[in-house]
Structure 1
């Protein structure tokens, strides 16, 4: 599927709540963002929905993603979770509904929760469906269950220090868009000397360099920021093109440094 389906970059909302979140989404929409990423677990869907409802940007022009947490994967609970999300978001549908994490130790059979996810889509409550934090083997199982061309994306951690190449390339080969979260490695990219040197050469920021590098890999990204100037810079990174030598220098930064690794995570590739 084409990355044009998913506006890039999107706005990540993890850890953002209340008035700060409302201000950030308002600024983002005003600047031109059209992709808002949230989740039931973030406990901010109500505020996300409030801002979208008040915005002058029509709902149909905003791509809204939410996710079902791993303790809600039993089919009836999954469907109830979606109803709760839609009520909080104040919308009849989301543009993308993700399984936030695969069921730990397969406590719920993948066929059960993916079938329920597909049924939610067929009921019109989600335009697209996808997964998050799935390994190569889990992506392949998911496609065996649902069939090809059913999943829009696998959302996984991607940044210069965890480039996740095997997963990214496998998903893309199977027709899934990869959405990369934590693209700035919780700010660590801002201190890296290689990234700072490339940024200086282009008169941009290290964050913009990273977003341009991510885009060059065909990966959609969802950086988070609370400052309007950083939001604007994240959008402006779409105009930045890096040289082959610069891209290769960033490739060499990979050190398998995973940030999101909870105890219920799958066995990573």
Structure 2
């Protein structure tokens, strides 16, 4: 949605891509929304979804587009090398992070801040990479999404989706075209970060706030899956897993 006095989020590049991509995506999958009204229609915000397939950014971007917003991501750089996914990310001005869970230099966060200043949505995967959880539940999160929300005083909207693994399996670059898949997408209320706002930002604060975000994302995913997540969130470090690359 366009705010008076501001240029449209849906630039020519986005619209040109949508002409090609939306019909293709519609042919291989359909989206079923839960609480789509919880996605802000105007203004800047941080959106934090779960992450378990390389095609997640495309599907989440399509979902947000269908609801009237133009998606822009702070996403790991390796996704930009995935066929189809990479072309989409580059063509729409997405923001690469060179290493999962970290930012080399200030440029990615600076670019994200500039997008927020323009009233745009910024999508940040708090897990930083595909979840390592064997049952693909959300794992321990990184602090980038919370840091941006607190530094910019933005609402942080949790989101979850289920079904993208049927379109593109974890660690796969191959798209399953048939049969047509159903992908469920849910949005939550803004994460309550009031107890953290206005305080000095340090590691302990960011870690505590990030756990609230991961709890909200997990609750949304439980609703979509109709299952209960493990009590203990998966921590790759506790299982001697690297933060990057495959573990299977």
**TM-score, scaled to structure 2:** 0.32
Structure with the larger helix share: 1
Larger Rg: 1
The higher-RCO structure (CA 8 Å, 6+ apart) is 2
**TM-score, scaled to structure 1:** 0.31
